[in-house]
Structure 1
Amino acid sequence: MDFEIPAELAALRQRVRAFIADEIIPMEQDPRQTAHGPTEELRLELVAKARRAGLLSAHVSPEYGGLGLDHRSKAVFFEEAGYSLLGPVALNIFAPDEGNMHLLEAVATDAQKERWLRPLAAGATRSCFCMTEPDPGAGSDPSMLATTAVRDGDDYLISGRKWFITGAKGAAFAIIMAKLEDGRATMFLADMDQPGITIERAMDTLDRCFPGGHCVVRFDGLRVPARDILGELGEGFKYAQVRLSPARLTHCMRWLGAAHRAHDIATAYARRRHAFGKPLGHHEGVGFMLADNEMDLHMARLSIWHTAWVLDQGGLGLHDSSMTKVIASEAEWRVADRCVQIMGGQGVTGETLVARIFADMRGFRIYDGPSEVHRWSIAKRILKGLHREEHRQ
């Protein structure tokens, strides 16, 4: 296996790195960042910068305005973008829009792509993915899906309640997972500004990097024409896998960039801050934490690159992406936690970005499947011998 980054990709990495340093990091103190993410005004301003730089929506095909990067190239691009918490927003590769774009490009009809994908890829609109439900509905167990879609002539009436719906406030449209009368899961596309959709509230969460925050959304007989079904009836869970493996991997990529940023900040602090007669980093207790950070970052990166390679070979990467989600989310979290510790009192203040990265990153061990669920899934594949077949692909 060749781990050398091709010259063209290395040049693109440098372009993204310079863009983040020159255009985005200076905006990190912009007051238009709220407890529920950057305002729409700020988002559009950031997106305009990326559009001028020719770096917008890199994961989308050129037909819809992107760069058409494969998964391995995305691993390099997205890590650089994640170095600033505003980077993924500026480059239009943040969740859930990035995963929704991937799903639409893979599954949607041409008419649906023109209506929803093209403006989303251009950064003109945002979207949300409505899957997770409050108890007793679907959470980590999608089979508990409670939202219903009942046929009414040529339409479907959707009723149910969702929560932790990232980006719902201000989203132009939603991809909604609901079950038919026979229990089969199906995805529907719906504009958010129509009767039958109510955003009950934005939820208070540790993170504040996602535009639109995380919301509770209620559907009361939302009427969706049959032409707005995404894919085929009853295939919702299959399409969820099309979206989830790449989407959970891109989460790993973006947060790797953030962890790297925290590590760089903590390293600089350990160099300049003196205690007991020498720089902090010269004390083994601190130096060892920096060394552990470097190893965790390296381990996460290698796991991400391998799973990206699996996806580029055409595999679903279910086993690999589950392993990488656990490896990367826990390794990157350890890095952020150590950085807070290295910086002492400074690490728990807003004087640097470390505390913000620490708070924003904590949810990553839950988003797109908690570590415990992925471990359980990995164990089931091991016991059935399925992991061996996947690794041979």
Structure 2
Amino acid sequence: MRKVYLIVAIWVTAQAVVAQPLKVSAFIDSFVVKNNFNGTVLIAKEGVVGYKKSFGLANFQLNVPNNPDTRYKVASITKAFTSVLILQLYEQGKIDLNKTISAYLPDYKGEGADKVSVVQLLNMTSGIHNMDTGATFESVLKNGIPQYQHPYTSDEMLTLFSSGKLETEPGKVWDYNNADYIILGKIIEHVTGKTFEENLTTNILQPLQMANSGIAHQQNIIDRMADTYFYRADIKALVNDLPVYIENWYAAGAMYSTVDDILKFSNALFGKKLLKQATLNLMFTSGLGEYGYGVWVYKDYDINHKMYTIIKRPGSIMGAQAMLFHVLENGSTIIILSNTGTTSLDDFAARIAEKVVD
């Protein structure tokens, strides 16, 4: 009799998984058309994929379609990986989150060397001059993006763009600053004696069998990588992304991945395979700007008149658009990777959540 109940339970679960795409498919198809979305959408519940579909083109010039195996630049989703690497070192007793930058980078020349803690880098309250200040749509079209259009090393990115003066008192003001995560990447390297890329591969990608993920480099041809295009509102057209050295984003945004690999990371993170629960509690503490350690943490987030905790990690570099959206209490995960800057993935993920979260 127990076997019969087990079979019924498995069948009911399977039916629920099958039913999910039927529920959301029409909405997603409509949203894609209205917003000219190009990319791949994956929806999972408790780690089980219930919906996965690709739309549009990975390369417009050659008419190459996106598919579920397409690799995308995932931009600032990289920061979630960087946070995990730092917190793994914290669990190993190799990093004290309350110590300052100079404890791990003794040659750091920035004003925050003895004032900014590792925690303040993680939660974006360092107060360090923002390395992207002044970058507007108009200025970028006229002058480019100097910090990303020259082949700088990570050491040069640290010295030239991440060692500025303190604009605010550390810990007091939230400011989204890529410099904070470039510093964290260099701390990881100094503590371990290995490159950031080696740490990422050894401690996350290989254990999770994320064979379709890594750090992108401008000179490398990456098989199945989608080209990226951003929307020019002034001419109302998609255009090629500006030429950049993607590796300059380093620990703040240089990764590429697939929806399946990002799900592997999500399942391991929320399944306590990468960090202990006590450490996850630190990472998911919603602070200034509703930001935790490398992720946004929204408490009392209203979905269909019920309150949930949302862990969200978006990414955006011109046409490279990415979203990891996880409902903590419900176990629903929405992953959206795109190669065109035509769609608000914040809005897209929120609307999907309304369809899949009971």
Do these two structures clear the TM 0.5 threshold for a shared fold by scoring above it?
Answer: no
Give the structure with the higher percent strand: 2
What TM-score range do you get, normalising by the shorter chain?
under 0.3
Which TM-score applies when normalising by structure 1? 0.23
Higher helix share: 1
